[in-house]
């Protein structure tokens, strides 16, 4: 199989590239990435071909998609707070970028498109757990872009019979997730803070909760979706229904790192949702064989990588 991963030099994409490179069924992996947040270093040893450039470049996509069997579209400006600071850049990369990928897939023909949406689309809809039939209520430009992206996938399935699969990722963490920048996710940001002697910063009261998913779990699902060409026009939550408050995450990290953590609380950030917890019966029915890596084990492996 020939696979293209957009955003493949980033955190999740590079983990997927390394995972797929081990599979006998996969003969060729191409990565399309503008290296805006991703890095070539993430791909060392994966044996992939990097096509450096933007998903907003149609001719570049045409070249990269030629002969591909599956496209895993992960390229995005993947941050709620960055989208609040700069909504247009977020929209171009996330919504228009997805449309560009779908158009290039349609031109290429006979290709399956798997794409990353986000739990942030549930936004202001406070119902828990989050199941896919809930009314989306985006709270940030990022969430709007992701809702547009997954809606485009469904539309391309209906209008052009393009085989698609939109996943709603929850909070993914693990090796190769960068820390030490303004938009870093909590797990790497906090591990980095503790291991470099800085204070752990918590936006809000710490009672907000997330469904943390280890990146290897995500890649197990993505790899199966690629190899079995699983199709669904409806979005699929990709998380395993473990609800962890940020306070509980700190307790877990204290155990894993073997040190007490005294966080400093900052005001809540605009655009952030309060609670996020997946209902995943759709995922379980499509991918019954995948077992998730538990939070403690995932945190241990992430700390080892640091």
26, 74, 246, 278: which one contacts ligand NAD (CB under 6 A)?
Answer: 74
| Residue keyed to tokens 């209906």 | 158
Verify binding: residue 4, ligand NAD, rule CB under 6 A: no
Shortest distance, position 24 Cβ to ligand NAD, whole Å: 25
Shortest distance, position 177 Cβ to ligand NAD, whole Å: 7
Contact by Cβ (8 Å): 51, 63: yes
3, 4, 5, 7: which one contacts ligand NAD (CB under 6 A)?
Answer: 7
Q: Could you say which residues in the range 172-201 bind ligand NAD, by CB under 6 A?
A: 172, 185
Residue 144 makes CB contacts below 8 A (sequence gap 6+) with: 91, 95, 138
Cis peptide before 129, with omega less than 30 degrees from 0?
Answer: yes
Question: How far is the C-alpha of 71 from the C-alpha of 5, rounded, in Å?
Answer: 6
Shortest distance, position 20 Cβ to ligand NAD, whole Å: 15
Verify binding: residue 211, ligand NAD, rule CB under 6 A: no
Residues 12, 222, 28: CA angle, nearest 5 degrees: 85
Shortest distance, position 215 Cβ to ligand NAD, whole Å: 8
Verify binding: residue 114, ligand NAD, rule CB under 6 A: no
Verify binding: residue 171, ligand NAD, rule CB under 6 A: yes
Shortest distance, position 93 Cβ to ligand NAD, whole Å: 4
Question: How far is the C-alpha of 286 from the C-alpha of 90, rounded, in Å?
Answer: 31
Cβ-in-10-Å burial (0-12, 13-18, 19+) of 44 comes to exposed
3, 4, 5, 13: which one contacts ligand NAD (CB under 6 A)?
Answer: 13
Contact by Cβ (8 Å): 212, 242: yes
Q: Which stretch binds ligand NAD (CB under 6 A): 5-13, 102-110, 219-227, 271-279?
A: 5-13
* Residue 265 main-chain phi, psi, to 5 deg: -95, 135
Token pair belonging to 177: 């997730």
Nearer to ligand NAD, 110 or 297 (CB): 297
Question: How far is the C-alpha of 212 from the C-alpha of 58, rounded, in Å?
Answer: 34
Verify binding: residue 83, ligand NAD, rule CB under 6 A: no
Q: Could you say which residues in the range 30-59 bind ligand NAD, by CB under 6 A?
A: 32-38, 54-56
Question: How far is the C-alpha of 13 from the C-alpha of 31, rounded, in Å?
Answer: 9
Nearer to ligand NAD, 60 or 286 (CB): 60
Contact by Cβ (8 Å): 1, 227: yes
4, 29, 61, 75: which one contacts ligand NAD (CB under 6 A)?
Answer: 75
Query: Which of the 8 DSSP states describes residue 112?
Result: E
Residues that bind ligand NAD (CB under 6 A): 6-7, 9-13, 32-38, 54-56, 74-78, 93, 97, 116, 118, 169, 171-172, 185
């Amino acid at each position: 199989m020939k696979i293209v991963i957009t955003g493949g030099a980033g955190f999740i994409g590079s983990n997927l590239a390394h995972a797929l490179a081990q599979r006998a069924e996969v003969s060729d992996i191409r990565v399309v990435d503008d290296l805006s947040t991703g890095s070539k270093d993430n791909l060392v040893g994966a044996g992939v071909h990097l096509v450096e450039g933007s998903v907003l470049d149609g001719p570049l996509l045409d070249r990269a998609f030629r002969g591909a069997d599956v496209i895993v579209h992960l390229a995005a400006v993947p941050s709620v707070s960055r989208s609040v600071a700069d909504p247009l850049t977020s929209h171009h990369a996330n919504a228009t970028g997805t449309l560009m990928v779908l158009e290039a897939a349609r031109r290429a023909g006979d290709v399956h498109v798997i794409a990353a949406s986000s739990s942030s689309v549930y936004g202001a809809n406070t119902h828990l757990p989050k199941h896919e039939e809930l009314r989306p209520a985006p709270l940030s430009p990022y969430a709007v872009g992701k809702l547009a992206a997954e809606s485009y996938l469904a539309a391309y399935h209906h209008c052009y019979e393009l085989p698609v699969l939109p996943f709603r990722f929850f909070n993914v963490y693990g090796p190769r997730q960068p820390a030490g920048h303004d938009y870093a996710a909590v797990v790497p940001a906090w591990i980095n803070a503790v291991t470099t002697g800085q204070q752990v910063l918590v936006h809000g009261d710490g009672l907000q909760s997330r469904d943390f998913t280890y990146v290897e779990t995500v890649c197990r699902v993505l790899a199966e979706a690629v190899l079995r060409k699983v199709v669904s026009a409806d979005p699929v939550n990709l998380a395993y229904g473990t609800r962890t408050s940020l306070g509980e995450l700190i307790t877990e990290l204290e155990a894993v790192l073997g040190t007490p953590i005294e966080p400093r609380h900052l005001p809540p950030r605009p655009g952030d949702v309060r609670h996020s917890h997946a209902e995943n019966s759709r995922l379980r029915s499509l991918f019954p064989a995948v077992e998730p890596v538990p939070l403690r084990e995932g945190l241990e492996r992430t700390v080892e990588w640091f």
